[in-house]
């Protein structure tokens, strides 16, 4: 675990309900900023949404927020069967299988799994990332076109390793995407994800996640890896599905 110690504060527009502002500052332990100053990292709450930004840094994109109603996201959700992730995760003889998305991030993969009919239990240990995701889920739940998908997604903030010690439900599938974006400007990280690099990485070693996931004995554990990345230490995957830049290692068990 490493930290860049970026100062982070919450900036709330005056129209935002005071109780929501208080809940966010208290649950995230953030000071309330009264103005945009310097190039500190800001969590900005407006009546429309919660977003992460770093005003004053010309190298970074404007802001990052979660939006499942974006046309590109909705388009992908129309044909989930085309997604390599969905092909990797699919299980036979289960009408609405339960998947633990152990590394929820911004919920992009979780959304695809939910669009494919999975009940998705998402876990995210970084409270800032989780707050962005929760805000995106709440907004999307009000969008009639995708509300049914969002209903299948549930987020828990915390370390999934704690949950996996004694899971409340037996999942058919556990999905792991431990690739926290590289902390390098040179890395080919999608523009909006560069902002995430500035947050503390609270991730656990991916091997620990794999070990804990296999111990639950789900039908499948699916791990997203860089295409040429090494296998995670542990048993060899049963098979691999390869995309252009990433691959899914699938461990069949159960
Ligand atoms: C590469 S991102 C996942 C991206 C996600 N698949 C998506 O589609 O948006 C990995 C995320 O897993 C989270 N994470 C890592 N270890 C975790 C753990 N032990 N428990 C919960 N979340 C964890 C990190 O904080 C990070 O946000």
Contacts of 107 (CB under 8 A, 6+ apart): 66, 68, 101, 122, 133, 136, 137, 153, 155
Closest atom of ligand 1 relative to the 129 alpha carbon: 27
**How far, in Å, from the CA of 14 to the mean position of ligand 1?**
32
Q: Which tens digit of pLDDT belongs to each residue from 200-243? A: 777 778 999 999 999 999 999 999 999 999 999 999 999 999 99
Q: Which long-range contacts (CB under 8 A, 24 or more apart) does 234-243 make?
A: 234/207, 234/210, 241/84, 241/87, 241/88, 243/84
Best of 64, 88, 104 for a ligand 1 pocket test (most atoms within 8 Å of beta carbon): 104
Domains in the chain and their CATH numbers? Answer: 8-64 (3.40.1630.10), 71-252 (3.40.50.150)
> What does the mean pLDDT of the chain come to?
89
**pLDDT at residue 139 above 50?**
yes
**What is the rounded average pLDDT of the residues 136-142?**
98
Q: How confident is the model at residue 188 (pLDDT cuts 50, 70, 90)?
A: low
Q: Which tens digit of pLDDT belongs to each residue from 73-98? A: 999 999 999 999 999 999 988 888 99
Are 124 and 157 in contact by the 8 Å Cβ rule? The answer is yes
Check residue 69 and give its pLDDT.
96
Helix then strand then coil, % of the chain, to nearest 5: 30, 20, 45
**What is the rounded average pLDDT of the residues 141-170?**
96
Best of 73, 77, 89, 105 for a ligand 1 pocket test (most atoms within 8 Å of beta carbon): 105
**pLDDT at residue 3 above 70?**
no
Q: Ligand 1: residues within 6 Å at CB? A: 103, 105-109, 123-126, 129, 159-161, 177-180, 202-204, 209
Is 0.75 topped by the overall pTM? yes
């Amino acid at each position: 675990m490493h930290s860049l110690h970026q100062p982070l504060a919450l900036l709330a527009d005056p129209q935002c309900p005071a109780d929501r502002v208080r809940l966010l500052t208290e649950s995230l332990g953030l000071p309330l900023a009264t103005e945009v100053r310097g190039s500190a990292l800001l969590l900005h709450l407006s009546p429309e949404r919660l977003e992460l930004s770093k005003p004053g840094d010309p190298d970074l994109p404007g802001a990052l927020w979660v939006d499942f109603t974006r046309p590109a996201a909705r388009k992908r959700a129309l044909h989930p069967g085309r997604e390599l992730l969905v092909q990797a995760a699919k299980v036979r003889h289960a009408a609405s299988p339960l998947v633990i998305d152990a590394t929820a991030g911004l919920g992009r993969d979780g959304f695809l799994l939910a669009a494919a009919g999975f009940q998705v239990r998402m876990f995210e240990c970084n409270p800032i990332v989780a707050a962005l995701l929760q805000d995106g889920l709440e907004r999307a739940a009000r969008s009639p076109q995708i509300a049914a998908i969002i209903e299948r997604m549930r987020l828990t903030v915390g370390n999934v390793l704690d949950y996996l010690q004694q899971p409340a439900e037996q999942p058919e599938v556990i999905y792991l995407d431990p690739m926290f974006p590289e902390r390098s400007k040179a890395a080919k990280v999608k523009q909006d994800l560069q902002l995430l690099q500035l947050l503390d990485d609270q991730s656990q070693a991916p091997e620990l996640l794999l070990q804990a996931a296999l111990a639950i004995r789900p039908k499948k554990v699916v791990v997203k890896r860089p295409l040429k990345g090494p296998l995670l230490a542990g048993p060899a995957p049963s098979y691999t599905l390869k995309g252009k830049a990433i691959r899914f290692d699938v461990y069949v068990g159960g």
